[in-house]
Structure 1
Amino acid sequence: MSLPYDITDKQSIINFAKKLLGKTLRDICDLVAPNASLDKGSFGKILEKFYFLYEPNSDAQPDFKEAKLELKSTPLKQLKKKQYRSKERLVLNIINYMDVVHQHFEESAFLKKNAHLLLIFYLHTKDTSVLDYVIKLVDEWKFPDADLEIIRQDWEFIQKKIRAGKAHELSEGDTFYLGACSKGATAQTTRQQPYNTILAKQRAYSLKQGYVNHIIASLAKHKTEVYGKLITQSILHQKPSIEEIVIERFTPYYNQSLEQILEHFDFKLNRKSKNFYANLTKAILKIDLKHAIEEFEKADIIVKTVRLKENNLPKEDVSFPAFEYTRLLEETWEESEFKAILEHKFLFVFFQFENNQLFLRKVKFWNMPHADIEASQKVWLEAKRVIQEGNIVKKISNKRYYTHFPSKKFSTIAHVRPHAKDKDDTYPLPTLDQLTDKNNYMKHSFWLNNQYIKDKIYLLPKEVL
């Protein structure tokens, strides 16, 4: 069968792909396509079979192997201001635990398959058939040198963990740009690993959602944000890691008071500003305060400033964004917002009170261990049960509401409590609350327990594989 593009010519394939812009699968595919299965992932399969005219496969080679070009389609979401953002991470090829331990990055199955990507972004619209998603962006992508260096380090960390017999403990928070995400028909899909008899959850390489947003902005040529870079062209030859750069820039300020640190800068920071600590972090990292930190944005790093009491216990628990009650009920654990947050990489900046002054003690990159993520599921499940049963409010005493949400006594890791501006800052409830008969309730969120932060983050030495 004659193909409408030259399989040996990269540009011919790209030009053919760009004819998809502004169209839907229903517009451009054979009429047989509507009879195809429309489960998750069917957009890409239909595109391959009915537009590019090849059978979907899981080959180790790129989809267009003669042109060394890998095809990937992925959904967009539209924000209120009409900008497009990635709806999810970009999943690449499955990690073969048995093979990857014998590979070098430059000749790895990962790089052979994904060095040059042909990306097709379509707008995901709720309650719409995948056949009617509109294709908004089509272009090629090759990793810039600075990004490829971080990706190499990420790949090598994943490999190192597998070599240590810990494939079953892999987490997306282990790495910066290149993640190891769960991939399988169910959460129970597993594979053998080479240096441990424990079956490991099947995982695939993936590009973090923040990195995919960077790709979208770059390809669409509508970068509105101005970024400051930690890794500049001048230091690229040193092959620095993001972690090394950050620690190196913070270390000279360790055990200095906040006042002493501020004296190092020739500009004033507003101590009363809501973003004071975020700006202080940028100042220490030598990033213009008006700029976002490019590497942090790409890696989806969550920065948390923690103030410790003199006994090393954080003064407060650490909060996450408020959850929507209805949405939480619709989620599965594997796809939940709470699990996704816990799988991020965090940068903790620790200050400690001493004689009523704050002193910088240390900064630490951290990601939650796989076992603790799994243990946190019981907190999520309990919160879900309470909402589902309409049994949120336990009692009202002196105008104060007490709830059945999981407290610190329920879990040593996390709990649920209010996270709202005031009592009128609410989300709708899917079920009327039994005690109050209300159909909405003050916003709540998941919080990391301060004792957990002390014991498992601040005091615990960094794990060495």
Structure 2
Amino acid sequence: MQYENPQALLDYAQSFAGFTLGELCERYKEQIPQQLLHKKGWVGQFLEMILGATSGSLAQPDFPEIGVELKTLPIDELGRPLESTYVSVLPLTNIQGLRWENSVVRHKLMHVLWIPIVASRDIAIENRQIAMPFLWQPTREEESVLKKDFEDVLDQVSMGRIEQVDARLGDILQVRPKAANSKALTDAIGPDGSTIKTLPRGFYLRPQFTKQCLLKQFS
């Protein structure tokens, strides 16, 4: 499915507001998983499918022709985000020449279609409801903070301090482990410049930040 502009995508996404995941699965003949523990990305993949995202797992926005990334945002009944939002993998090797301006993180966060979903843990998956989708772009100030967070992390990685980086670093972006299990190790730069093995990491948006995005949109 091709969209002429972000507004066309938003209009279509907003037509799903109010529907439950169960109702949408019935409409699109999709099997709903019994639980999401081992299918954490299923909701996002399902919505990408019904909205016609073309990017797949490529390191670019989900709708590259209009430069928009799709992000689902699990919220509680009061509209508060339930978790941090995954953005992209944190590169741990070959980072020479990598800057905020040419990073995957920036490409994905320059224009986001947020799809909030009322998804408290006590709500069965099929009864979780799509709230009103909205488009978001960072302000100049927000991008400045995102850039600083990104560069601070890259500095630590380049100096071989990945094991000292934890979720406390960064005002908007934080780093968290991104692995199926503790055996899924990857290469990283060690303290003396040699190669070490460590858990893959990812960049995530803090829930306090996505909460502010929601408040600005719906206040």
Sort the TM-score into its range (normalised by shorter chain). 0.7 to 0.9
TM, length-normalised to structure 1: 0.43
Counterpart of 2:213 in structure 1 is 215
Shift of 1:38: 4.7
Report what 2:163 is aligned to: 168
| Aligned match of 1:133 | 128
After TM superposition, give the deviation of residue 188 of structure 1 in Å.
4.0
Shift in Å, 1:54: 4.5
Counterpart AA for 2:134: D
1:16/1:123 CA distance change after superposition, 3 Å = same
User: In the alignment, which residue of structure 2 is the partner of 1:157?
Assistant: 152
Counterpart contact for 2:73–2:116, Cα < 8 Å: yes
Q: CA deviation at 1:15?
A: 1.1
Return the letter of the residue paired with 2:108. Answer: K
Q: What is the SS of the residue equivalent to 1:137?
A: coil
Distance in 2 (alpha carbons) for counterparts of 1:104 and 1:55: 26
Q: In the alignment, is the contact (CA less than 8 A) between 1:17 and 1:138 conserved in 2?
A: yes
Using the TM superposition, give the Cα deviation of residue 84 of structure 1 relative to its aligned residue in structure 2, in angstroms: 1.6
Residue 52 of structure 1: aligned partner: 51
Q: Structure 2, unaligned stretches of length 5 or more?
A: none
Of 14, 29, 32 in structure 1, the residue corresponding to residue 29 of structure 2 is 32
Matches within 5 A, 1:387-402: none
Say if 1:56 and 1:41 are closer, same or farther in 2 by CA, change over 3 A. Answer: farther
Residues 107-144 of structure 1, C-alpha deviations (whole Å, 9 max, x = no match):
22211122111110101133433232111231011111
The 8 Å contact of residues 43 and 131 in structure 1, kept in 2 or not, is answered as no
CA contact (8 A) 2:177 2:201 kept: yes
Aligned partner of 1:7 in structure 2 is: 3
SS at match of 2:80: strand
Kept in 1, the 8 Å contact 2:74–2:118? The answer is: yes
Q: Name the residue aligned to 1:67.
A: 66
How many residues align? The count is 212
1:204 is matched with 202
Question: What SS does structure 1 have at the residue aligned with 2:67?
Answer: coil
For CA contacts below 8 A with separation 6 or more, give which structure has more relative contact order.
2
Q: Which residue of 2 aligns with 1:77?
A: 76
Change beyond 3 A, Cα 1:208–1:187: farther
Contact persistence 2:95–2:158 (CA under 8 A): no
Asked if the contact 2:32–2:126 (Cα under 8 Å) also holds between the matched residues in 1, the reply is no
Offset, 1:41: 2.5
Identify the residue that residue 301 of structure 1 maps to in structure 2.
none
The aligned amino acid for 1:41 is: G
Greater strand share, 1 or 2?
A: 1
Alignment of 1:353-372 (within 5 A): none
Change (3 A) 1:197 1:139: same
The answer to whether the Cα contact below 8 Å between 2:187 and 2:196 also exists between their aligned partners in 1 is yes
Letter in 2 for 1:181: R
The aligned amino acid for 1:219 is Q
**8 A Cα contact 2:10 2:134, kept in partner:** yes
Question: What amino acid does structure 2 have at the position aligned with 1:69?
Answer: V
**SS of aligned partner of 1:160:** helix
Unaligned regions of 5+ residues in structure 1, if any?
A: 223-465
Counterpart contact for 1:193–1:200, Cα < 8 Å: yes
Which protein shows a greater Rg? 1
Q: CA RMSD in A?
A: 2.1
Q: Within 2, Cα distance between the matches of 1:191 and 1:37?
A: 31
> Scaled by the length of structure 2, what TM-score is found?
0.87
Tell me, yes or no, if structure 1 residue 119 matches structure 2 residue 117. Answer: no
Instruction: Provide the C-alpha distance between the structure 2 equivalents of 1:183 and 1:171, rounded to a whole number of angstroms.
Output: 12
Contact 2:71-2:112 within 8 A present in 1 as well: yes
Q: Identify if the C-alpha distance between structure 1 residues 67 and 180 changes in structure 2 by more than 3 Å, giving closer, same or farther.
A: same
The alpha-carbon distance between structure 1 residues 54 and 32, as it changes in their structure 2 partners (threshold 3 A), is: farther
- After TM superposition, give the deviation of residue 197 of structure 1 in Å: 2.0
1:191-221 CA-partner distances (Å, limit 9, x unpaired): 212444221221111111111110111111x
Write the distance in 1 (CA, Å) between the matches of 2:55 and 2:23: 20
Aligned partner (choices 9, 17, 22) of residue 21 of structure 1: 17
Determine if contact 1:168/1:198 at 8 Å carries over to the other structure: no
State the one-letter code of the partner of 2:91.
N
